[in-house]
Amino acid sequence: MLQHTKEKLLANECNKKRFIEMLKKALRKANICVQQAVEDADLMIVNTVISVAPQYDYVRVVGEDIDLLVLLTALASTHSNVFFPKVWTHLLKLQLKLNLTSLGCHQLPMLLNCMP
């Protein structure tokens, strides 16, 4: 059996498509709903979360991308049952700080201290 690094394997478009199809098939077999984004996955994730939220007591969005939090903040109602777990908050604070610092924004202590 040949062994390749993940990067090498997925660099080949055919391998990447096969892997995605195998993963989707395995997830569906485990009774997990699967949607594949064509363009902006973050927006699709947030729109899906908002649309299914009324069916559940609460919905938790797990991700490391600050874009998810920004989109949720902008698109979800203030009385929504959608949550972004605190577990990821420290990663988001760090990413936000790095992103804003790279843009030349250095007045962050107040903003970061206000985040949960």
27 vs 88: CA distance, rounded Å: 24
62 vs 87: CA distance, rounded Å: 9
Entry pTM:
0.59
Residues 84, 44: one domain? yes
Burial of 59: CB neighbours in 10 Å, binned 0-12, 13-18, 19+: middle
44 vs 68: CA distance, rounded Å: 10
Residue 86 lies in a domain: yes
Is residue 4 left, alpha or beta, with left meaning phi > 0 and alpha meaning psi from -120 to 50? beta
Residue 66 lies in a domain: yes
Mean pLDDT within 12-18: 84
Q: What is the pLDDT of residues 88-113, one digit of tens each?
A: 566 666 666 665 555 555 444 444 44
Q: What is the pLDDT of residues 19-47, one digit of tens each?
A: 888 888 888 988 888 888 888 889 998 89
Q: Which domain holds residue 68?
A: 38-100
Residue 54: is its pLDDT beyond 60?
yes
Q: Is pLDDT larger for residue 2 or for residue 75?
A: 75
Residue 113 lies in a domain: no
